[in-house]
Protein backbone atom coordinates (compact mmCIF):
# COMPACT_ATOMS: atom_id res chain seq x y z
CA UNK A 1 0.00 0.00 0.00
CA UNK A 2 1.44 3.36 -1.00
CA UNK A 3 1.93 5.85 1.81
CA UNK A 4 1.22 9.55 1.92
CA UNK A 5 3.24 11.38 -0.71
CA UNK A 6 4.14 15.04 -0.92
CA UNK A 7 5.55 17.19 -3.67
CA UNK A 8 7.94 18.90 -3.90
CA UNK A 9 10.31 17.63 -1.24
CA UNK A 10 12.03 20.99 -1.07
CA UNK A 11 11.13 24.44 -2.36
CA UNK A 12 13.18 27.61 -2.22
CA UNK A 13 11.40 30.82 -3.14
CA UNK A 14 11.80 34.53 -2.61
CA UNK A 15 9.64 36.61 -0.34
CA UNK A 16 6.52 37.71 -2.17
CA UNK A 17 6.39 34.72 -4.50
CA UNK A 18 3.73 32.04 -4.56
CA UNK A 19 4.27 28.38 -3.77
CA UNK A 20 1.89 25.44 -4.03
CA UNK A 21 2.47 22.25 -2.09
CA UNK A 22 0.74 19.02 -2.97
CA UNK A 23 -0.27 16.04 -0.87
CA UNK A 24 -1.60 12.68 -2.01
CA UNK A 25 -3.14 10.75 0.87
CA UNK A 26 -3.32 7.00 1.27
CA UNK A 27 -5.98 5.65 -1.06
CA UNK A 28 -9.35 5.39 0.65
CA UNK A 29 -8.50 7.81 3.45
CA UNK A 30 -11.21 10.44 3.65
CA UNK A 31 -9.38 12.47 6.28
CA UNK A 32 -6.47 14.67 5.28
CA UNK A 33 -4.50 16.98 7.54
CA UNK A 34 -1.85 19.64 7.08
CA UNK A 35 0.72 20.44 9.74
CA UNK A 36 3.74 22.72 9.83
CA UNK A 37 6.98 22.70 11.76
CA UNK A 38 8.86 25.95 11.98
CA UNK A 39 12.53 25.44 12.88
CA UNK A 40 13.02 24.86 16.58
CA UNK A 41 9.33 24.68 17.30
CA UNK A 42 6.75 21.94 17.63
CA UNK A 43 4.74 20.47 14.77
CA UNK A 44 1.52 22.48 14.59
CA UNK A 45 -1.85 21.61 13.11
CA UNK A 46 -3.05 23.76 10.21
CA UNK A 47 -6.28 22.19 8.96
CA UNK A 48 -8.34 19.05 8.44
CA UNK A 49 -10.34 17.93 5.42
CA UNK A 50 -13.03 15.28 5.38
CA UNK A 51 -13.27 14.38 1.73
CA UNK A 52 -13.44 17.75 -0.01
CA UNK A 53 -14.82 19.70 2.97
CA UNK A 54 -12.75 21.73 5.40
CA UNK A 55 -13.67 20.33 8.79
CA UNK A 56 -11.34 22.42 10.90
CA UNK A 57 -9.08 25.20 9.71
CA UNK A 58 -8.41 26.73 13.10
CA UNK A 59 -4.65 26.38 12.71
CA UNK A 60 -4.27 28.31 9.47
CA UNK A 61 -2.01 31.25 10.31
CA UNK A 62 -3.58 33.88 8.03
CA UNK A 63 -5.33 34.44 4.72
CA UNK A 64 -2.13 34.07 2.74
CA UNK A 65 -2.63 30.32 3.11
CA UNK A 66 -5.23 28.56 0.97
CA UNK A 67 -5.87 24.84 1.11
CA UNK A 68 -8.03 22.92 -1.33
CA UNK A 69 -9.03 19.32 -1.85
CA UNK A 70 -11.10 19.24 -4.99
CA UNK A 71 -12.75 15.87 -5.58
CA UNK A 72 -11.73 14.66 -2.17
CA UNK A 73 -8.49 13.09 -3.34
CA UNK A 74 -5.23 15.04 -3.32
CA UNK A 75 -4.86 18.38 -1.59
CA UNK A 76 -2.90 21.53 -2.31
CA UNK A 77 -1.69 24.20 0.06
CA UNK A 78 -0.90 27.53 -1.55
CA UNK A 79 1.04 30.29 0.13
CA UNK A 80 0.57 33.66 -1.56
CA UNK A 81 2.51 35.85 -1.08
CA UNK A 82 5.15 34.00 0.89
CA UNK A 83 6.84 35.68 3.85
CA UNK A 84 10.09 34.81 5.62
CA UNK A 85 8.25 33.39 8.62
CA UNK A 86 6.53 30.83 6.40
CA UNK A 87 9.76 28.85 6.15
CA UNK A 88 9.52 25.41 7.68
CA UNK A 89 8.54 21.84 6.96
CA UNK A 90 4.96 21.26 5.87
CA UNK A 91 3.62 17.82 6.67
CA UNK A 92 0.55 16.15 5.30
CA UNK A 93 -1.17 13.24 7.01
CA UNK A 94 -4.18 11.08 6.30
CA UNK A 95 -6.40 8.77 8.28
CA UNK A 96 -9.23 6.38 7.62
CA UNK A 97 -11.36 7.49 10.53
CA UNK A 98 -11.32 10.22 13.16
CA UNK A 99 -12.26 8.05 16.12
CA UNK A 100 -11.24 4.71 17.48
CA UNK A 101 -8.39 2.46 16.53
CA UNK A 102 -8.55 3.38 12.85
CA UNK A 103 -7.97 7.08 13.33
CA UNK A 104 -4.19 6.82 13.26
CA UNK A 105 -2.72 9.61 11.18
CA UNK A 106 -0.07 8.51 8.69
CA UNK A 107 2.39 11.19 7.72
CA UNK A 108 4.09 12.03 4.48
CA UNK A 109 7.77 12.92 4.19
CA UNK A 110 7.10 16.65 4.31
CA UNK A 111 7.95 19.59 2.07
CA UNK A 112 10.76 21.81 3.28
CA UNK A 113 9.91 25.40 2.32
CA UNK A 114 12.60 28.04 2.44
CA UNK A 115 11.59 31.66 1.87
CA UNK A 116 14.52 34.00 1.17
CA UNK B 1 -4.78 25.48 26.81
CA UNK B 2 -3.99 22.08 25.36
CA UNK B 3 -0.29 21.33 25.29
CA UNK B 4 2.32 18.59 25.34
CA UNK B 5 5.61 18.93 27.14
CA UNK B 6 8.64 16.78 26.38
CA UNK B 7 11.21 17.22 29.11
CA UNK B 8 14.38 16.42 27.24
CA UNK B 9 15.49 18.22 24.10
CA UNK B 10 18.49 15.98 23.40
CA UNK B 11 19.38 12.65 24.97
CA UNK B 12 22.69 10.90 24.38
CA UNK B 13 23.07 7.23 25.27
CA UNK B 14 25.41 4.35 24.64
CA UNK B 15 24.14 1.18 23.05
CA UNK B 16 22.43 -1.18 25.50
CA UNK B 17 21.53 1.65 27.87
CA UNK B 18 17.93 1.97 28.99
CA UNK B 19 15.79 4.79 27.68
CA UNK B 20 12.98 6.80 29.17
CA UNK B 21 11.64 9.90 27.45
CA UNK B 22 9.25 12.03 29.41
CA UNK B 23 5.96 13.38 28.10
CA UNK B 24 3.32 15.34 29.99
CA UNK B 25 0.12 16.64 28.49
CA UNK B 26 -2.53 19.14 29.33
CA UNK B 27 -5.92 18.26 27.90
CA UNK B 28 -9.33 18.06 29.50
CA UNK B 29 -11.10 15.64 27.20
CA UNK B 30 -10.85 11.94 26.46
CA UNK B 31 -7.20 11.23 26.01
CA UNK B 32 -5.72 9.55 22.97
CA UNK B 33 -1.93 9.59 23.11
CA UNK B 34 0.75 8.83 20.56
CA UNK B 35 4.48 8.54 20.15
CA UNK B 36 5.88 9.15 16.69
CA UNK B 37 9.47 8.74 15.54
CA UNK B 38 11.37 10.35 12.69
CA UNK B 39 14.54 8.54 11.68
CA UNK B 40 17.14 10.57 9.78
CA UNK B 41 15.93 11.22 6.25
CA UNK B 42 12.63 9.46 6.79
CA UNK B 43 9.07 10.54 7.49
CA UNK B 44 7.22 10.48 10.80
CA UNK B 45 6.20 6.97 11.78
CA UNK B 46 3.87 5.81 14.51
CA UNK B 47 5.66 4.01 17.35
CA UNK B 48 2.66 3.32 19.54
CA UNK B 49 -0.66 4.72 20.65
CA UNK B 50 -2.99 4.65 23.62
CA UNK B 51 -6.75 4.85 23.23
CA UNK B 52 -8.17 2.99 26.21
CA UNK B 53 -7.71 -0.12 28.33
CA UNK B 54 -4.32 -1.34 29.52
CA UNK B 55 -2.25 1.75 30.34
CA UNK B 56 0.94 -0.06 29.37
CA UNK B 57 1.16 0.06 25.60
CA UNK B 58 3.63 -1.89 23.54
CA UNK B 59 4.77 -0.61 20.19
CA UNK B 60 7.15 -1.48 17.43
CA UNK B 61 10.89 -2.12 17.80
CA UNK B 62 10.66 -2.96 21.51
CA UNK B 63 9.28 0.38 22.65
CA UNK B 64 6.58 0.74 25.27
CA UNK B 65 4.83 3.61 27.00
CA UNK B 66 2.82 3.91 30.17
CA UNK B 67 -0.20 6.16 30.54
CA UNK B 68 -0.45 7.48 34.10
CA UNK B 69 -3.66 9.48 34.29
CA UNK B 70 -2.96 10.97 37.73
CA UNK B 71 0.34 12.38 36.48
CA UNK B 72 -0.90 13.38 33.02
CA UNK B 73 2.09 11.49 31.67
CA UNK B 74 2.83 9.12 28.80
CA UNK B 75 6.53 8.29 29.06
CA UNK B 76 8.28 6.25 26.41
CA UNK B 77 10.65 3.46 27.43
CA UNK B 78 12.99 0.92 25.92
CA UNK B 79 15.12 -1.41 28.06
CA UNK B 80 18.11 -1.52 25.72
CA UNK B 81 18.67 0.97 22.91
CA UNK B 82 20.47 0.29 19.66
CA UNK B 83 22.41 2.58 17.37
CA UNK B 84 19.50 2.35 14.92
CA UNK B 85 17.22 4.05 17.48
CA UNK B 86 18.96 7.34 16.77
CA UNK B 87 16.06 9.58 15.75
CA UNK B 88 13.75 12.35 16.86
CA UNK B 89 10.81 11.28 19.02
CA UNK B 90 7.53 13.15 19.29
CA UNK B 91 4.79 12.76 21.85
CA UNK B 92 1.30 13.87 20.80
CA UNK B 93 -2.19 14.12 22.22
CA UNK B 94 -5.30 14.08 20.07
CA UNK B 95 -7.49 17.14 20.63
CA UNK B 96 -10.64 16.84 18.57
CA UNK B 97 -9.25 15.58 15.29
CA UNK B 98 -5.93 17.44 15.42
CA UNK B 99 -2.74 16.16 16.99
CA UNK B 100 -0.96 18.44 19.43
CA UNK B 101 2.74 17.66 19.46
CA UNK B 102 5.53 18.24 21.89
CA UNK B 103 8.71 19.89 20.67
CA UNK B 104 10.42 16.56 20.13
CA UNK B 105 13.39 14.81 21.73
CA UNK B 106 16.46 13.97 19.70
CA UNK B 107 18.01 10.68 20.74
CA UNK B 108 21.61 9.98 19.79
CA UNK B 109 22.90 6.47 20.42
CA UNK B 110 26.61 5.80 20.18
CA UNK B 111 27.91 2.35 19.34
pLDDT digits (tens, 9 = 90+) for A59-114: 999 999 999 998 889 999 999 999 999 999 999 999 987 676 657 899 999 999 99
pLDDT value at residue A72? 85
What pLDDT is attached to residue B86?
A: 97
User: Which of A10, A42, A89, A112 to mutate to test binding with chain B, by most B CBs within 10 Å of its CB?
Assistant: A42
Task: Calculate the alpha carbon distances from B107 to A37, A60, B111 in Å.
Answer: 19, 31, 13
CB A45 within 8 A of CB B98: yes
Cα dihedral across residues A65, A71, A75, A76: positive or negative: negative
pLDDT score at B27: 80
User: pLDDT tens across B15-69, in order?
Assistant: 999 999 999 999 877 889 999 999 998 999 999 999 888 999 999 999 999 999 9
Minimum-distance CB partner of A45 among B32, B49, B98: B98
What percent of chain B has pLDDT above 90?
82
* Distances in whole angstroms, Cα of residue A58 to Cα of each of A28, A44, A62, A63, B103: 25, 11, 10, 12, 20
Show which residues on chain B lie within 8 Å of chain A, measured between beta carbons: 4, 32, 34, 36, 42-46, 49, 51, 90, 94, 96-104
Predicted local distance difference test score (pLDDT) of residue B60: 94
Amino acid sequence: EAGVTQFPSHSVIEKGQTVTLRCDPISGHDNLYWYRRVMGKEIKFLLHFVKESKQDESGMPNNRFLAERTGGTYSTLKVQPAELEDSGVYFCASSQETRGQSDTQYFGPGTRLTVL
Amino acid sequence: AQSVSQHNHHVILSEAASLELGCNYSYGGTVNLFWYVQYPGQHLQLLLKYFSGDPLVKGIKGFEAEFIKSKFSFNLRKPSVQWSDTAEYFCAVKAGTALIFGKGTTLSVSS
